[in-house]
Amino acid sequence: MQAPADPSVPYDATIARPLDAGAPAAASAVDATKVYGTGDTAVVALDDVSVEMPAGRFTAVMGPSGSGKSTLMHCMAGLDTLTSGRVLIGGTDLGQLTEDELTLLRRDRVGFVFQAYNLVPTLTAGENIRLPLTLAGRAPDEAWLATVVEATGLASRLGHRPSELSGGQQQRVAVARALATRPQIIFADEPTGNLDSRSGAEILDFLRRAVSSMGQTVVMVTHDPVAAGHADAALFLNDGRIVDRMDKPTAERVLDRLKLFGD
């Protein structure tokens, strides 16, 4: 590939500002730095990143392997802690929370979709969808759940175990599970990574609808330009820094941008 080898894209703090500054942020990172290890073996995974994830939008986070995109997501979702800087979800500073409060935040205000689906194999699809509510001991909003289940298109398969579902179906259950609590923000980590292109397209479509018709906020980490094409905006990370942002991305434009990394 004849991509220009130009990894030294200048860092511009203004790129990280949201496109429509009027929309409130569902989650934001301020001066976020994450260092793994100490001394000579220290690796800077996030280097003073400040970013806002606008509410009611579908944001894709892109970048080559080791760019820090997964670390950013883990830290913003409260799964991992920063070395310095702050992460806020809906105005709550995660750094101020105890372990248990963090757990409750994840349970009630954040949804997750993993690359490997990560359904509980012993529970049925329906039970997996309700699991966050079960954990909270909360009565589900049946109307909302019905909407979510309807959107999965799996209403007839709710009694099946994950092992009886295809990968695409399992991932739709996982998305439904993330939606079940009507979280402030959903983080999706390579949700199409394990799927063929058709199943992947279904999942992306599902996430798209979650944002457009259900008013949800989705942040998706991916290295697939096609997946990013479904988002409202794409952020590009390299070497632990946000190096670019693109509104209304298309697969072609994202691919072109990625080529700049010489990936």
Partner 1 sequence: MVRVALRGLLAHKGRLAITFVAVALGVAFMGGVLVLTDTMNRTFDDLFADVFRDTDAVVRSDQAIDTGFGGEVRGHIDEALLAEVEAVDGVAAAAGNTEGFAQVIGKDGEPHGDPAMGAVTIGINWVADERLNPFDLVEGRAPRDGREVVLDRGTAQDTGYRLGQAVPVQTQAGTERYELVGVARFGATDSPAGQSFVMWTAAAAQRLVGQEGRYTAIAVLADDGVSQRRLAGGIRAALDRAGVDDVEVVTGADATAETQSRFKDQLAPFTTFLLAFALVALFVGTFVIYNSFSIIVAQRTREMALLRAIGARRRQVRRSVLVEAVAVGLVGSAVGFLVGLALASVLGSVFDLPPGALAVLPLSVGVAVVTGIVVTVVSALLPAWRASRVAPLAAMREVAVDRTGHSQARFLAGGVVVGLGVLVVVAGALGGEPARVGIGAVVVFAGLLLVSPGLARPVSRVLGAPLARLRGVAGALARDNAGRNPRRTSATAQALMIGVGLVAFILVVQSSVRASIDEVLDESFAGDFIIDSGTFGLIGLPPRVAREVADLPDVAVVAPVRFAQATVAVPGRGVDDTAVTGATEGVFDLLDLVVTTGRARLAPGEVVIAQSRADEAGLELGDEVTVTFLDDRRPAGARAATVAGIYDDESPTGGVGNFVLGLDDFTAAVPTSADAQVVVQLREGVPVAEAEPEIERIVERSGAAEVQSVDEYKEVVGSQIDQVLVLVGGLLALAVIIALLGIANTIALSVLERTRELGLLRAVGMRRRQVRATIRWEAAIISLFGTTLGLFFGLVGGWGIVRALRDQGFGVFEVPVAWFVALAVSAVVLGLVAAVVPAWRAGRMNVLEAIGTE
Q: From CA 39, how far away is CA 31, in angstroms rounded?
A: 21
For partner 1, the closer of residues 13 and 135 by Cβ is: 135
The minimum distance between CB 9 and partner 1, in angstroms, equals 28
Task: State both tokens at 19.
Answer: 């496109």
The minimum distance between CB 143 and partner 1, in angstroms, equals 22
Instruction: Name which of 138, 140, 213, 198 is nearest 167 in CA terms.
Output: 198
Give the other-Cβ count within 10 Å of 84's Cβ. 12
For partner 1, the closer of residues 63 and 249 by Cβ is: 63
Q: From CA 111, how far away is CA 97, in angstroms rounded?
A: 18
The minimum distance between CB 203 and partner 1, in angstroms, equals 17
Q: End-to-end CA distance of the chain: give it in Å, rounded.
A: 10
For partner 1, the closer of residues 16 and 45 by Cβ is: 45
The minimum distance between CB 167 and partner 1, in angstroms, equals 12
Identify the residue whose tokens are 């759940």. Answer: 145
Binding site for partner 1 (CB under 8 A): 70, 74, 79-80, 99-100, 103-104, 106-108, 110-112, 114-115, 118, 120-123, 127, 131-132, 134-136, 177-178, 189
For partner 1, the closer of residues 103 and 166 by Cβ is: 103
For partner 1, the closer of residues 64 and 193 by Cβ is: 193
The minimum distance between CB 95 and partner 1, in angstroms, equals 16
Question: Contact at 8 Å (CB) between 234 and 261?
Answer: no
Q: From CA 57, how far away is CA 252, in angstroms rounded?
A: 21
Question: Contact at 8 Å (CB) between 102 and 76?
Answer: no
For partner 1, the closer of residues 33 and 194 by Cβ is: 194
The minimum distance between CB 132 and partner 1, in angstroms, equals 5
The phi and psi torsions of 43 (rounded to 5 degrees) equal -125, 125
Which of helix, strand or coil describes residue 55? coil
Identify the residue whose tokens are 């007839």. Answer: 156
